Structure 1
Amino acid sequence: MNVKRLILGAVLAGFLLVSAGGGYVVHLFFQPMSRPGTTGEVRLFIPSGMTFSQVTQQLRQQQMLSHPRIYDWVARWLEAPKRIKAGEFLVSRDWTTWEVLGHLIRGKGIRHRVTIPEGLNFRQIAARLETKDFGETDTYLALMKDPALLARTGIAEAKTLEGFLYPETYFFSRVERPRQILAAMISQYRHTFTPELRARAEELGLSEYQALTLASIVEKETGMKEDRGKIAAVFHNRLRKRMLLGSDPTVIYGIAGFDGNLTRKHLRTPTPYNTYTRRGLPPTPICSPGKDSLHSALYPENVNYLYFVARGDGTSVFSSTLKQHNKNVWYYQKVRKNRLRIQKEAQVQKAKLKRDS
């Protein structure tokens, strides 16, 4: 009888120990993944190609592995090594192992906004991306003629990526590489330049690359939507008559280290981009044009203008004859000089009042 009691007691004790141990393990499954005493959030960076052991090392460095064995069990159960997504993630130290790994598997990471406005050239876009911490300018510039990225444009005659980085608001994670970011911008361009636009370019006797180049000139010539169609018409008419395009922005693009002061010498110095000395379009686009400029280049207004001059307020005045154009140039140069004189006098008066006060 005593032996039976001893056996029964031993079995009962064993059962209680197993139950307690199992209960403790279950308890650990629902405890925060982070080490006790740590609070706040942890930022994890998982670039494409990172191994699961490297992800685990990040978590260890962030003191997130308070129960390594539980972590291993959950990772195997969820097949985390095969399912974790690339990205930038913010996880709370209060989360359990299930919650942290589940978040990485779902792949809903942090994405940062960057806006590329119309009219920027490749170098300016690269510099803008650097200011947003998406890589260094030099890294982007090294990819400007990358064959694999050029192939993504779908344009065999494309010499560089200039013009193909479509101006738009993008959302990227910090782990995306410059190559991936450029590919996304090229993809957006391809989505925008539709088959209908390519067919329209053919109607006008232009290749897609020529249409893009013309649109980039229109983009740089004016920021006024209402003038773009007329400016595009001027360049179409000049190309048809085999006249020089005479576009200042193309000249500026071809000047290394341009300091903002366009001189007569610049206009007379031959470069591949000087449309005062070379007929036809420049060899490449000079910036990334927006949708309005692309549309204007392919659907110019039906006018016979050959010339235009800036009024100084953002708009332009157009003419069909050189004689009228010269009159417009003389008049608006005079207007600008008067405006500068008035501004200078106002500055002198302001300085005088400041001294006398």
Structure 2
Amino acid sequence: MNVLKRFAKRCVALALCACCLGGAVVANVPVTAQAAVSVSASTPVIRLDTASCELNTTAQKYYLAVTVTPDRGTPPDAVSSNPDVAVGKYVKKAGGRYLYEISGLKDGLATIYLRYANVENMMSVKVGDETGTIDVRIPEGSTLRETAQALERAGVCSMKDVFDAANSNAFDSYSFIASIPNADSRYYKLEGYLYPDTYNFWKGQNVQSVLKTMLNNYQTKTANINWQNTAGLTKEQVMTLASIVQRESTATDRANVASVFVNRLKSGNTVNVYRLQADSTMYYPYRAQGNVPSQLPGFQSTYNTYNITGLPAGPICSPSVESIQAALNPASTNYYYFCHSAAGNSYFAETLEQHNANLVAAGLRSAT
């Protein structure tokens, strides 16, 4: 636990020092780590010394990280909380310009906002012991619906809350979300940007805090990507293509699969191939026909690339960095067709005649 404490203090030092030294105005501060502070329910008092970038608590155990977010105008002597949790709003200065004492916290989860100049610090605070956290794994290629299901099963937040938040404007402080040109045409605005990974969340954690953690991870993982590409795709289109590549490929054939779709986009009309025809898009936002609710008979996805020309309106899942890179840098091929056998073996073809032969070889069609 001592190692955790030392790591925690380093996290808060990195996050707080950027905005508390000299009280200088800091513009466009990037969002950093998002986690939680845990304090003992029997002595729920946090002492936050923003001058020395130290956080002291009367509890024996705590986790710590601070997220730096754009200023929301919250005064430094206020405590905001999850509306579902009864939390007192008691903050007082404690013998110094930068020293605050936060008390009155009850069992549950709260969010504390502290503002310095034009920068605001937000801390998720779990009052109680650390047994309230849970690891949630979001596999590569998960849809937003599947992510919401995983979070609800883990007791982190409800699917409804995720859906509502995912289509709100609450995350437009992220440039890659604010720049989405066709949000109204997408099933879920945040689809594709909740990076697949294993996360440690509090049970009952505020949904915005949860989704910001995942968006922060996406931002970090893609920070060094060069989005330029020979297909002339925008960043949003690359993410859409990458999500299809994620669902249609294996770890060993991503670049070849990407080449099929890029070839179809760029020159498919020259070989009488006018649509992407990706099976993974047919029933989006559901993974497959069997996942479509029974109350939606005859459901038709607006993303179905058997019916539309070009890319769908947005991503169909959360792709990995490897799939994003494959979409940006597809293999140089003349392939316009591909298929996989039940064992996962790949078959690529330049012509429909070759593809039909591959379907037989892969066991997907009977020889005639």
TM-score range, shorter chain: 0.5 to 0.7
The correspondence for 2:134, drawn from 92, 107, 112, is: 112
SS state at 1:126 partner = helix
Alpha-carbon distance in structure 1 between the residues aligned to 2:282 and 2:254: 19
Q: Report the CA distance between 1:132 and its aligned residue.
A: 1.0
Residue 309 (structure 1) aligned to one of 336, 339, 356 = 339
Structure 1 counterpart of 2:206, from 177, 184, 190: 177
Show the counterpart of 2:284.
Answer: 253
User: Which structure has the highest helix share of the two?
Assistant: 1
Please list the CA deviations of residues 281-336 of structure 1 after superposition, one character each: whole Å capped at 9, or x if unmatched. 01111001111111111111111111001111123211111110011113323689
Task: Please tell me whether the aligned partners of residues 42 and 90 of structure 1 are also in contact (alpha carbons under 8 angstroms).
Answer: no
1:164 is aligned, of 193, 198, 207, to 193
For residues 194 and 332 of structure 2, what CA distance do their matches in structure 1 show? 30
**1:148 shift after superposition:** 2.2
Match for residue 218 of structure 1?
Answer: 245
Separation in structure 1 between the aligned mates of residue 366 and residue 146 of structure 2, nearest angstrom: 29
| Whole-Å separation in 2 of the counterparts to 1:174 and 1:190 | 24
Distance in 2 (alpha carbons) for counterparts of 1:323 and 1:197: 37
Q: Partner amino acid for 1:274?
A: N
Match of 2:351 among 321, 326, 343: 321
Question: What's the Cα RMSD here?
Answer: 3.9
| Amino acid in structure 2 at the alignment position of 1:215 | A
Distance 1:168 1:270, change over 3 A: closer
Alignment CA distance shift 1:158-1:150 (3 Å): farther
Following TM superposition, by how much is the alpha carbon of 1:158 offset from its aligned partner in structure 2, in angstroms? 5.2
Rate the CA distance shift 1:330–1:140 in 2: closer, same or farther, 3 A.
Answer: same
Structure 1 unpaired stretches of 5+: 1-32, 35-40, 58-74, 92-107, 338-357
Corresponding residue number in structure 2 for 1:300: 330
How many residues were matched structurally? 254
Asked which structure has the greater CA Rg, the reply is 1
Alignment of 1:234-313 (within 5 A): 234-242=260-268, 243-253=274-284, 258-259=289-290, 271-313=301-343
Taking a change above 3 Å as real, the CA distance of residues 335 and 313 of structure 1, as seen in their structure-2 partners, is: farther
Q: 1:126 to 1:208 in 2, by over 3 A?
A: same
Q: Residue 129 and residue 43 in structure 1: after superposition, are their counterparts in 2 closer, same or farther (change >3 A)?
A: farther
Deviations 1:71-124 (Å, cap 9, x if unpaired)?
Answer: xxxx99995337986422445xxxxxxxxxxxxxxxx99643211111111111
Q: Which deviations, in whole Å up to 9, do the C-alpha atoms of 1:172-203 show, x marking residues without a partner?
A: 223530111111211211222235432x24x5
SS of residue paired to 1:81: strand
1:169–1:292 distance in 2 versus 1, CA, 3 Å = same
1:227 paired with 2:248, answer no
Distance 1:308 1:197, change over 3 A: same
Q: Equivalent of 1:49, from 57, 81, 87?
A: 81
Contact 2:280/2:287 (CA < 8 Å) preserved in 1? no
Task: Specify which of 225, 229, 233 is matched with residue 206 of structure 1.
Answer: 233
Letter in 2 for 1:259: G
2:347 and 2:362 in contact (8 A); partners too: no
Report if the CA contact (8 A) 1:88-1:109 is conserved: no
1:82–1:229 CA distance, 2 compared to 1 (3 A): same
Relative distance call for 1:323 and 1:314 in structure 2 (3 A) is same
Q: Structure 2 regions of 5+ residues with no counterpart? A: 1-41, 44-58, 63-78, 106-122, 184-188, 269-273
| Alignment check: 8 A CA contact 1:307 1:321 kept | yes
Q: TM-score of the superposition, structure 1-length normalised?
A: 0.61
Distance 1:216 1:306, change over 3 A: same
Structure with the higher strand share, 1 or 2: 2
Kept in 2: contact 1:233–1:301 (CA 8 A): yes
